[in-house]
Structure 1
Amino acid sequence: MQGRMVVTSPVIVAAIVVVVSLSLAAAVDARGRSRRLVRSYDEPCKKMRLYFHDIIYDYSNSTSNSTSAAATKPTALATAVSRNGTFFGEVVVFNDPMTEGKALPPSLEETAVRAQGLYLYDKKEEYNAWFAFSVVFNSTAHRGTLNLMGADLMFDKRRDISVVGGTGDFFMSRGVATLRTDAVEGFTYFRLQMDIKLYECYV
């Protein structure tokens, strides 16, 4: 008995691909809610502008007004290469307020949006940093987190870091955050303008 060769129609293959894609585009969050993926590479499915305020404690400023602190000292290599030092190897841990406008909030500890994580100085010849942090939302407008990471090329006017995921209202979101240094005051304060554009959103 001879075997029969089965010829699969391109239309059937395409239909199978669509069905599998649709099944993969649905997910369930921590509360058991079914979420549907919205993806666009031309226009973001969600965008927002926030300002990131970092006030580093350097032993001379107020502890109550500081929102970040060095967890490690710069390496010896930093001062060996540069007379002024570049903080190479220093790790800073932060719990910074984020705002929709440029002004610092009245209470630095009780803002509805916060950035929590770390940055480290990773270039020995000049200032350069690498970020890994979560933007934590706790308001009536949004609840959940966005997780971001990437190189902050500090001498570039604008630079991008990746939005690699999220929780709550931002469940499994992905996109890009464009950073711009908006203000600097010595070594104790800087403000970043952060334009977040999400290209994958679960709704």
Structure 2
Amino acid sequence: MGKYLTVSLILYFIGQLTLLVFSSIVESPQKVENWFQGLKAAELKVTKLHFYFHDLREHTSVEVASANITASSPTLFGYSAIMDDSLTEGPEFSSKQVGRVQGLYASASFKEFSLLCAMTLVFTDEKYNGSSLSILGSNPTMHQHREMPIVGGTGVFRMARGIAMLTYIFFDVPGGNATVEYNVIVQHY
């Protein structure tokens, strides 16, 4: 029971922190309504982004749950983790940070090591500061190249949809550490 209480408290505090952060950058409902009304005349924009994601197990991502069969499963079925990883301009950890990726992932396949990912790319640099993109989908992590759908966005990326193409730069399978190149194409207003 203690493990479930810990997971519940972690999720509660993440929710509270998210509300605190986003309440300071979200516009008033009237401004959003005015923006939405202006969509009829607005042109759809296309933005291409390139950055790197760094996941370090036990430093930027932590296990929050696992199923009884996780230890005996070759795909770690049921393993779940929360992440708050760095997004950088270059593949080095010391590269300029352009944002964070925050969310969760869980091993959701009996047949291959594939993660179900629900994550938000929160941008902190220059013209995209305070904007975000949301990704939700399957991430077959043993594939060198993968695609994940972008299902929404905020700020500059309101009503976003698109694709994130992922390529491993570094992947330490036993340690669970990775550096992944992201090439993103997103449509938004």
Q: Fold conserved (TM > 0.5)? A: yes
Report deviation, 1:32.
4.4
The structural deviation recorded for 1:139 is 2.3
Q: State yes or no: 1:88 paired with 2:107.
A: no
Q: Which residue of 2 aligns with 1:46?
A: 47
Query: What is the RMSD computed on CA atoms of the aligned residues?
Result: 2.3
Point out the structure with the larger helix share.
2
CA deviation after TM superposition for structure 1 residue 158, in Å = 1.5
Residues 1:52 and 1:29: Cα distance change in structure 2 (over 3 Å)? farther
What is the one-letter code of the residue matched to 1:30? V
| Count of aligned pairs | 154
Shift of 1:103: 0.7
Amino acid of the structure 2 residue aligned with 1:92? A
Aligned to 2:65: 72
Conserved? CA contact 1:52–1:97, under 8 Å: yes
Structure 1 stretches of 5 or more lacking a match?
Answer: 1-27, 40-44, 58-65
Which of the two has higher C-alpha Rg? Answer: 1
- Taking structure 1 as the reference length, the TM-score comes to 0.68
Any conservation in 1 of the 2:89–2:95 contact (CA below 8 Å)?
no
Equivalent position of 2:32 in the other structure: 30
124, 136, 153: which one aligns with 1:149: 136
C-alpha change, 1:49 and 1:106, in structure 2 (3 Å) is closer
- In structure 2, runs of 5+ residues without a counterpart are 1-29
Counterpart amino acid of residue 76 in structure 1: N
d(CA) in 2 for partners of 1:145 and 1:196? Answer: 13
Partners of 1:70 and 1:166 lie apart in 2 by 27
Residue 53 to residue 86, structure 1, CA distance change in 2 (3 Å): same
- C-alpha deviation, 1:128, in angstroms: 1.4
TM-score by length of 2: 0.73
The whole-number CA distance in structure 2 between the counterparts of 1:31 and 1:100 is: 34
* Secondary structure in 2 matching 1:30: helix
Letter in 2 for 1:98: L
User: CA 1:106 to 1:47, structure 2 compared with 1: closer, same or farther past 3 Å?
Assistant: closer
Describe the SS at the equivalent of 1:69. Answer: strand
